[in-house]
Amino acid sequence: MLFSMTKRPWLSFALSLPLAAASALPFSVLHAQDAPPPQKIDVSHFTSSVEDVVIPVPSEIFNALDKLGGNPNWGSVLPTGESKFHPKVQAQNALLLGVVIADGFIAVEAKDSSRVEQIGRRVIELASTLGVGKSVISHCNAISEAAKKDQWDGVRVELDRTQNSVREAMKALHSRDESQLVSIAGWLRGTDALTFLVGKDYKPDRADLLHQPQMLETFDRQFEEMGNSVKADKMVSEIRAGFKKIKPLVDSKGNEAIPQKTVTDVNEITSALVKNVAP
């Protein structure tokens, strides 16, 4: 989920970047600030995958919302407190880690340095339960230092590196299912925040960001290929069922805009799922 040094049009950024390419690419979202607001978003540019492994990048979808104008109140979608919930099941730890990393991106959008530091500590704690804590310590320390100095470019870079390092380390530990759950939960939390903000200030072009049926199809294939014990986990199965409800809602036909009620309906589903993962 790290991006090329080359300056690229912001619409070419992917919501999901291939794992194989992620480590070779640095963060360039901030170059997009010079680009004019788009008239319409082609959501297909937000999706790519390699071997059905996708990495949702909350920062990209959030940046897209910013570029559509208005002044999203990112602080309003941050959790009010730090969850001390400690799942006993590794699959649930992976889901919670994905949600917390997405919260980190939201805190960056809100420029809330104290929450960024707090979330960084939580990321280390959860990553350690999955056996990959050492892989993120240096990133989280860098995040904390950059946040204290309001160096938000650096914070964004290190957040991206953190999620990529988690995935690479889990891959080395042969924890493919849990690695995918981190990504799935990141997308879930990002969509939860997005639908809340779009619902508060509805515009059809903002709602277009939800048109991601292919992403949900990919996630469903990932769920199907997971081990039986992971698929049988109550939290995992509830998220899969929730995604099946979301897919027809966001699968708009032709040039049909996704209506405000649909945005609200998706938010109700995602919000309930996020609260289940991070009570």
CA 192, distance to chain mean position in Å, is: 10
List pLDDT tens digits, range 157-189.
Answer: 787 788 777 777 877 777 888 888 988 998 999
List pLDDT tens digits, range 214-269.
Answer: 888 889 999 999 999 999 999 999 999 999 999 999 987 766 889 999 999 999 99
Band of the pLDDT at 145, cuts 50, 70, 90?
A: confident
d(CA 101, CA 143): 12
Mean pLDDT of 76-82: 82
pLDDT of res. 212: 83
pTM value?
Answer: 0.79
pLDDT of res. 70: 73
Q: Which residue has the higher pLDDT, 138 or 270?
A: 270
Phi and psi for 258 in degrees, rounded to 5? -75, 120
pLDDT of res. 271: 96
Band of the pLDDT at 79, cuts 50, 70, 90?
A: confident
Tokens 């492994």 locate to 53
DSSP 16: B
Burial class of residue 264 (count of CB atoms within 10 Å of its CB; 0-12, 13-18, 19+): middle
Tokens at residue 87, please?
A: 């799942």
Least confident range of 50-54, 136-140, 170-174:
50-54
Most distant pair of Cα atoms in the chain: their distance: 48
pLDDT of res. 59: 64
Contact at 8 Å (CB) between 166 and 97? yes
List pLDDT tens digits, range 93-112.
Answer: 999 999 998 998 898 888 89
List pLDDT tens digits, range 15-35.
Answer: 332 222 222 222 222 233 334
Any idea where the domains of the chain sit in the sequence?
52-277
Helix (H) / strand (E) containing 235: helix 234-250
pLDDT higher than threshold 70 for residue 3: no
